[in-house]
Structure 1
């Protein structure tokens, strides 16, 4: 009998690592004070501050809502970037005690979006709130013209006018993030079970 992929993933996760739960975490992401004034080419540093020493993931949600795994920083400071690379042309990462640092080397429009930190501790997943990082919106003042018919205001990426808030709409990307992180946890649990057989 066919089952939805999300259900199969949750069932597999329950068998692999019972007791994993998504919660809002006791970690916090710290950004520079000038993050609202980002410029193209600027170096951006984000810190994930925790009270644990069990490794952390950094994930980027772009403006379209697509999620991108960036890097896993282990408890012994080993780095695994996407596609199992040890280095990345766009990012740097490091660990200092229980602070996990992510650096965007040269900020570009494709780096805009929300950044999340995630940790797996005692078979439980902990997620940080998203840290938004966007370039300033540039507005141009139109030349004086003869008043014409009223038109709707410019739309944002959410498809609503700038007077409204994008936060009013639900974010399906968050659900996708959870499913991707659950898949990563399954892989980690299998590796742990392989190295530590009962």
Structure 2
């Protein structure tokens, strides 16, 4: 905490300078998710600045610059608060100062800077943006309910002459049953009516043929006497 106040005091007194000799790089390029470890590296190309130590700063979505830690040239790390020691890990390599944020959370999103204080002048690096990927919002897929309508066609309405290829053999038998039974009954009725007509006609003819004939015997006798 004292280091943070001291840094803010230096910001008010010292001159600030941004230059290309200090750069912040994100070591992992894979998509991040909450809970991952994020590694940042502060690369100092100017040898005159590499032995002055580095302060790591974070600017969140609220645009407030917050001090994280200070890493000295002898790899001594001073955190802004004791509760941040487990989440922020600092490291020192030749000409590079590392920062590891674990686990990375939503409040850790924003821009990260490394600052070098030398001769009452603050040298700022360019900001490195670190954000979680925005989840893709896909419209919900709705499955339309399909209603299957089953139409039952009676077997009498479809006959072999007009039937569709989808009819089965049972439908053929049903059509034959409903056609041939009435047809056979009609033929039997017509046959009975025809027989009745023939019998009636024969009886009528016999009645008409019963009549008296002239006596041929008497006529013969008369002719003989003459």
TM superposition score category, shorter chain reference: 0.5 to 0.7
Q: Alpha-carbon deviation of 1:86?
A: 9.7
The change in CA–CA distance for 1:110 and 1:86 in structure 2 (over 3 A counts) is: closer
Matched, 1:28 2:53: no
> Using the alignment, how far apart are the partners of 1:65 and 1:93 within structure 2?
23
2:28–2:39 Cα contact (<8 Å) kept: no
Aligned length: 129
Matched, 1:53 2:25: no
Structure 1: segments with no counterpart, 5+ residues: 1-8, 14-19, 145-198
Structure 2: segments with no counterpart, 5+ residues: 1-8, 142-226
* 2:35 corresponding residue in structure 1: 41
* 2:90 corresponding residue in structure 1: 93
> Using the alignment, how far apart are the partners of 1:63 and 1:41 within structure 2?
19
Query: Which SS does the other structure have where 1:34 is aligned?
Result: coil
> Using the alignment, how far apart are the partners of 1:117 and 1:66 within structure 2?
15
Which structure has more RCO (C-alpha within 8 Å, separation ≥ 6)? 1
> Using the alignment, how far apart are the partners of 1:24 and 1:129 within structure 2?
7
Larger helix proportion of the pair: 2
List 4+ stretches of structure 1 deviating above 3 A.
none
Q: How does 1:1-198 map to 2 (within 5 A)?
A: 13=13, 20-25=14-19, 26-34=21-29, 37-50=31-44, 51=46, 52-83=50-81, 85=82, 88-143=85-140
